[in-house]
Amino acid sequence: MTGVRELFGSRFGGAPDGVWLAPGRANLMGEHTDYNDGYVLPFALAQGVTAAAARRNDRRLVLCSRQEPGGAEIELDGLAPGRVTGWAAYPAGVAWALESAGYRVPGACLAIDSDLPAGAGLSSSAALECAAALALTELAGLAVGRGELAAIARRAENEFVGVPSGIMDQSASLLCRSGHALLLDCRSLDSSQVPFDPPAARSRLLLINTRARHELTAGEYGRRRAECEQAARLLGVPSLRYVTDVAETGRLPDPLLRRRARHVVTDNQRVLDAVALLRAASAGPGPEDTYPGIGRLLTQAHLSLRDDFEVSWPAADAAVEAALAAGALGARMMGGGFGGSVLALVPAPACGQVREAVTGAFTRQAWAAPEFLDAVPSASARRLPPGPR
Ligand code: GLA
């Protein structure tokens, strides 16, 4: 397969000024906690979105993508939410959000390629935003801090594209370090790097794309946000992050809101527990129990997402069950829910049997075969050196 530089050459002629890669993300712990001001623990994947870009002398953004038919030509002047639809709304939204934040963006040609499976819940949209954000700011010679760039990319998604997501995905793509997970406090936006290197402990993180499509624009995600906000109001706190004692959620009269709040409060605690385990392991000769302990937290998180937050889906439940029965240390659905991927922590020797067990379970249900990806904690978005990609 030819690379994004060739795509650029065939569509626009000549060579790009640069190529930028923004990774997708997996999330070890902390789901539906970001928009509750809570904690998340994502890591960047090796897979991502690449943008080959060159400056233009006018105020046009000209876009093409290997994955999407047809391109788009967008006038930067007069850009406003609702003016651009489809995949082009993500890079256009980034240009709009940058300009709204006072950064003047140049016209540019952008060729986009991706090796992230779309719809697998691995944040291909955030990766697209972040690749465009880096390309546009660096082409313009603008120095924008990574934290601010994440906030700008999120604004593009929330206000321009109209998807009410939190800050996790863009932060993961822009702030992660290889061999680490990122502990992000979504209230203060403080972040720190947590050593996380499963292969060193003879373990693997397996991403299981269940091939059930997830669609954040669909109403359930927004409904969960509204339920969490309502629960916080009833408990008299600005957000569910302020509740640290799970017993407090018992004060909610509505059992549904009680379950929603219980998920958020316990998942915040699971993030902190996972961080404590990983930090203890990296501080000295790691306690034997680190990875089994992380595995138990993953499985508890799945039950909480399935039963309390009610965002799991049948193929995720089946994948988790089959993976655990075949020797995984733990597994859970990942991301917003209702489709996408499952993350399983597996002792390296058990990887083959876990794949077989999950594939077998899907075959028995006559579901499309799952796709497996090795999730390796990787580096954040960056400009790629010259050469093929
Ligand atoms: C999606 C959103 C994130 C986060 C997760 C759930 O991935 O984009 O902001 O809310 O769902 O944890």
Catalytically annotated residues: 169
Q: Which residue is listed with tokens 């077989």?
A: 356
For ligand 1, the distance from its centroid to the CA atom of residue 219, given in whole angstroms, is 14
pTM of the model as a whole: 0.96
Q: Relative to the CA of 336, which ligand 1 atom is closest? A: 11
Nearest alpha carbon, ligand 1 atom 2: 165
Q: Relative to the CA of 32, which ligand 1 atom is closest? A: 12
Question: In Å, what is the CA distance from 190 to each residue of 123, 185, 354?
Answer: 21, 5, 36
Q: Which residues line ligand 1 (CB under 6 A)?
A: 31-32, 34-35, 165-166, 168-169, 335-336
Distance CA 324, CA 130 (A): 35
pLDDT for the residue numbered 119: 86
For ligand 1, the distance from its centroid to the CA atom of residue 107, given in whole angstroms, is 31
pLDDT for the residue numbered 218: 65
pLDDT for the residue numbered 386: 83
* DSSP H or E segment with residue 324: helix 314-325
Taking all residues of the chain, what is their mean pLDDT, rounded to a whole number? Answer: 95
- Whether the predicted pLDDT of 194 surpasses 90: yes
Contact 175, 25 (CB under 8 A): no
The mean pLDDT of 61-80, rounded to a whole number, is 95
Across-strand partners of 74?
61
User: How does DSSP classify residue 199?
Assistant: G
pLDDT for the residue numbered 2: 64
Hey, which of 25, 34, 161 would you mutate to test ligand 1's pocket, going by the most ligand atoms within 8 Å of its Cβ? 34
CA 134, 139, 140: angle at the middle one, nearest 5? 105
- Joined tokens for residue 261: 């709040």
Contact 337, 312 (CB under 8 A): yes
Reported confidence tier of residue 356, pLDDT bands at 50, 70, 90: very high
The mean pLDDT of 84-113, rounded to a whole number, is 97
Across-strand partners of 305?
none
pLDDT digits (tens, 9 = 90+) for 146-159: 999 999 999 999 99
Q: What phi and psi values does residue 282 have, to the nearest 5 degrees?
A: -85, -15
Q: Which residue is listed with tokens 């917003």?
A: 336
For ligand 1, the distance from its centroid to the CA atom of residue 284, given in whole angstroms, is 33
For ligand 1, the distance from its centroid to the CA atom of residue 333, given in whole angstroms, is 12
pLDDT for the residue numbered 389: 63
